[in-house]
Amino acid sequence: MILLMFGMLIFFIMLGIPIGFSIGLTSLVTLLIIDKANLMPSLAQSMYAQATSYPLLAIPFFILAGTLMNTGGITDRVFRFAKCLVGHLHGGLGHVNVVASMLFAGMSGSAVADAAGLGKVEIKAMIDAGYDRRFSAGITAASSTIGPVIPPSIPFVIYGAITGVSVGSLFLGGFLPGVGMGLALMVSVAILSRRRGYPKDRFPNIRVILMAAKDGLPALGAPVIIIGGIISGLFTPTEAAVIASAYSLFIGVLLGEIVWANIGAIFYEAFVQTIKIMFIIVTAAMFGWLLVYLRGPDQILHLFTSFTSNPKLILIMIILLLLILGCFMESIAIILTVVPMFAPLVDKMGLDPVHFGVIVVLSLMIGLITPPVGMSIFAVSAISGLPPESVIREMTPYILALMCLLLLVAFWPSFTLFIPNLFLKGI
């Protein structure tokens, strides 16, 4: 029955039905097959409880903060600051693309927001400077995957809500792997740039650096406030999301990039994005409830341990499954439907739940740049004017770089847990 559920889900997705409706439809068909219509009240309660979870309240506010930062010239300021930092390296704007995504990741928590917002600035600047359109689109899609790993992170909020793991610990656990993603992509950019003879900028003079810092640093205060507040205990991650939104609005107005006439449109865009995510969360709650009812976690535990009892091999199998699912499903839907089944297995393996959360999110971010449902690929395709298949062909070196980092994160737990253990020991 569990195999049939996942088969139906993939079938509905391949038909082009939106992911939220596919999950809900799969759940309803499953109910009819097992003839358990009397479960509807329990399902409704589960869906309501999931939607009203306190940690999930952070989602609309992080979306709002990212939308506010994406408005007007704020992303231009971030890009100019990144250009002063690494634009002088070989293949300069490719490196700028990655660093700008790392900086913007500390504000939005969303890969698609990065690809759609900052991507417009990055691709135009690279093409104007003589870079190949495919290269510009490819590195933009790849660098957008850093967004949900470097804190704040919407996937980490969702993972924490369904597993009970500290969201603050997850945020801190994602910091070093997120930086590692950026460095891995920059190595790929350096190799490709030398092979293809891409240009580099002159090293900027001190006046240009100071001007870029003056313009860009106020917009980069959000991640400092978020992480600083969580580490110091001043506020929870959910409260940090509210403060980040207020700060983003304040900075946008102060810098003259946001005018009050556009506030309604900004809030409406954030509202629409929130509704889409929450609808997936609610339908996935029904799907997850049915998996538990059908003893899915027990079946997964038995299936994996029947092949091997080696924790490292089991972890590799989980990662492979996540990568395969990432080719077909949206990352939030995978977290909501699959993670509850893995929880008992992870506990039996003795794997730290924060470490596992970072492995899950990093694996799923690679899925954002793999066909056929790579959302970042389609977002960048729309911006660049290239067909998705052209962007996909450029992805190979970046996927390989991120896969190497994923293996490093998976088998070197201290790389992920060093900062959480340093700042939140005992929490």
> 426 pLDDT exceeds 70?
no
Q: What CA–CA distance (Å, rounded) separates 37 from 191?
A: 58
With 0.85 as the threshold, say if the pTM is over it: no
Mean of the pLDDT values across residues 304-324? Answer: 83
Q: Which has more confidence, 40 or 93?
A: 93
Q: Which has more confidence, 372 or 12?
A: 12
Q: Please give the structure tokens belonging to residue 353.
A: 């739940």
User: Is residue 68 within 8 Å of 254, Cβ to Cβ?
Assistant: no
Of 25-34, 210-219, 305-314, 361-370, the least confident: 210-219
Q: How confident is the model at residue 108 (pLDDT cuts 50, 70, 90)?
A: low
Contacts of 185 by beta carbon, 8 Å cutoff, 6+ apart: 98, 139, 142, 143, 146, 398, 401, 402
164-220 pLDDT, tens digit each = 888 888 989 999 999 999 999 999 998 988 888 877 777 777 777 788 777 777 777
Mean of the pLDDT values across residues 97-121? Answer: 71
Rg over alpha carbons for the chain, rounded to the nearest Å, is: 21
Q: Which has more confidence, 386 or 51?
A: 386
> 410 pLDDT exceeds 90?
yes
349-367 pLDDT, tens digit each = 888 999 999 999 999 888 8
> 297 pLDDT exceeds 70?
no
User: Is residue 380 within 8 Å of 133, Cβ to Cβ?
Assistant: no
Q: What is the model's pLDDT at position 355?
A: 94
User: Is residue 68 within 8 Å of 245, Cβ to Cβ?
Assistant: yes
Q: What is the model's pLDDT at position 168?
A: 85
Mean pLDDT of the chain: 81
